[in-house]
Structure 1
Amino acid sequence: MKVIVAGYPKTGTKSMNAALTQLGFNVYDALENLVYLQDEYIKILENGWTTEDFRRMYETVDAVCDTPACFFWDEIHKAFPDAKIILTLRDDEDVWWKSLLSQLKASDKFLLKMMEMLCPTSTRACIRILNPISTVMFGGPYRNPWSLKPWTLNNEQLAKKCYRTHNAYVMETAPKDKLLVYKCSQGWDPLCQFLGVPVPDEPFPRKNVGGNVVNEIDDHPIFRQLKKELMVSVVKLTVVSGVIAYCTAKYGPVKIAETIYDQAKSAFQKLPFG
């Protein structure tokens, strides 16, 4: 691990991911953290962690950013004390809050809702990682994956307080010689100088502008995996629904209910305490 991006979501983390990738770093962003390291983060959130856990998780990764890694930046740094820390910021907390709300609105799409409801990987990430981590990072849970209501954060003051507290903690705690407080609007120069790498000829990348991240990650291998998982779930659900509809039409709902009851009763009676 060489670089830890400790900034909150909506502080330019997707642009940082693209910039660090362009500079030759192997980066774990939110998708990689939530899918490749799903079991590890569930264990961390539910049972605690050791420094060795984070060392094992990121020993082959050059850089990390976004949720949930940004919340555990100091634990990751304890595992990799030579890593440099970048705290990405917006111009002020009002700009950050408006950008966060814009992201929530833009991400409230049918495909993502279906993934949360029907993809085991997405559902598990929502319930066991995003919900608990969002509660401490933004003052409220992510959302019930089976709810069709849009995700909203109702407590603006609490979310801003969480944002301020996190930034203050990073600036107070991180070793000064390893910390860069940075805005993506500053471009390549301060970032490359801090990392000790040449400045690219290409413009600094601007990603997820206006919450457009879903379109930008459409070809990401993890996103393609999740879409395949969704298709499998839809096929299974369709087959089960067809079987239920056929049996109901042939035997009637009362007979179906009686059969299910009898089978459940028989299975229960076979249990040691049945």
Structure 2
Amino acid sequence: MKWITSFRNRYRAAGKVKYFCIGRNKTGTTSLKRAFEDLGFPVGDQRTAEILTGKYYFEGDFQPIIGFCRSAQVFQDVPFSYPETYKHLDEAFPGSKFILTVRDTPDQWYQSLTRFHSKMFGKDGNLPTTAELKLAPYVWPGFMYNVVRIHGTPEDDPYNKGIMVQHYKKYNDDVLKYFKGRPEDLLVINLAEPRSYDKFVEFLGVDSPYHDFPWENQT
């Protein structure tokens, strides 16, 4: 049962260093989550985090999200991949570690995200329209609309490539600036690069029976 898992994760995470996966969606965050799970780390419930995102993130209220972060040791996806969240978590949980996942290029990230959204929310393989995003049933109608609009795109062009790519680049730059001079607190990693898994387990300070990341949700 879900409440039993939640109770167990909270107990296992008590007093341990927290890890926040803050790379933008479609940069390998699901594979990173699976890698943590394979190593026995308790990972926060994604649907609960999504519900909190819809209720509080867009209001600028981070306290419920911070409270949720006491429920496990590792967190990924929204709102942890959203602007400003990492700053509040860094302040609330001193000594925590952050992992910024990236793609080879911003264009590769854009293509991956738009292919995924076309498959999940569009019609006949096309990108979703604003109207379709507002009706998409994921979490609740309107949730996916906010997921896309966080990039700053206009109502009549929700997947504007120039704006989305610039947003991706700015987000990554902002993270690097924030953690400048703190290499022990931030790992920047491209899961597709050779030895990326070695860098990951070295950052965690653990031994692993595995040699590479599991691949999840590839697009």
Tell me the TM-score range normalised by the shorter chain.
0.7 to 0.9
Report how many aligned residue pairs link the two structures.
189
The equivalent residue for 2:58 is 45
Q: Structure 1 residues 165-174 or 177-186, which shifts more?
A: 177-186
Return the match for 2:47 from 11, 17, 31.
31
Would you say the 8 A contact 2:53–2:78 is kept in 1? no
Distance in 2 separating the partners of 1:32 and 1:64: 11
Please state if 1:165 is matched with 2:178: no
Please state if 1:201 is matched with 2:215: no
Aligned CA distance change for structure 1 residues 55 and 33 (closer, same or farther; 3 Å): closer
Aligned CA distance change for structure 1 residues 208 and 183 (closer, same or farther; 3 Å): same
Once the two structures are TM-superposed, the CA of residue 161 in structure 1 deviates from its matched residue by 0.7
Aligned CA distance change for structure 1 residues 117 and 136 (closer, same or farther; 3 Å): closer
Would you say the 8 A contact 2:44–2:71 is kept in 1? no
Aligned CA distance change for structure 1 residues 139 and 23 (closer, same or farther; 3 Å): farther
Distance in 2 separating the partners of 1:21 and 1:139: 34
Would you say the 8 A contact 2:22–2:86 is kept in 1? yes
- Unpaired stretches in structure 1, ≥5 consecutive residues: 144-151, 211-274
* One-letter amino acid matched to 1:162: H
The equivalent residue for 1:96 is 109
Task: Trace 1:37-186 onto structure 2 (pairs within 5 A).
Answer: 38-39=51-52, 41-46=54-59, 48-49=60-61, 52-71=63-82, 72-108=85-121, 122-123=139-140, 126-127=141-142, 129-137=143-151, 139=153, 153-174=158-179, 175-186=182-193
Q: Secondary structure at the match of 2:99?
A: strand
Distance in 2 separating the partners of 1:14 and 1:44: 21
- Which is helix-richer, 1 or 2? 1
Aligned CA distance change for structure 1 residues 79 and 28 (closer, same or farther; 3 Å): same
> Given the two structures, how large is their TM-score scaled by the length of structure 1?
0.60
Please state if 1:15 is matched with 2:31: yes
Would you say the 8 A contact 2:103–2:109 is kept in 1? yes
Distance in 2 separating the partners of 1:202 and 1:122: 34
RMSD: 2.9
- Unpaired stretches in structure 2, ≥5 consecutive residues: 1-16
> Given the two structures, how large is their TM-score scaled by the length of structure 2?
0.74
Larger Rg: 1
Task: Trace 1:195-234 onto structure 2 (pairs within 5 A).
Answer: 195-201=204-210, 203-210=212-219
Identical positions, percent:
24
Once the two structures are TM-superposed, the CA of residue 134 in structure 1 deviates from its matched residue by 3.0
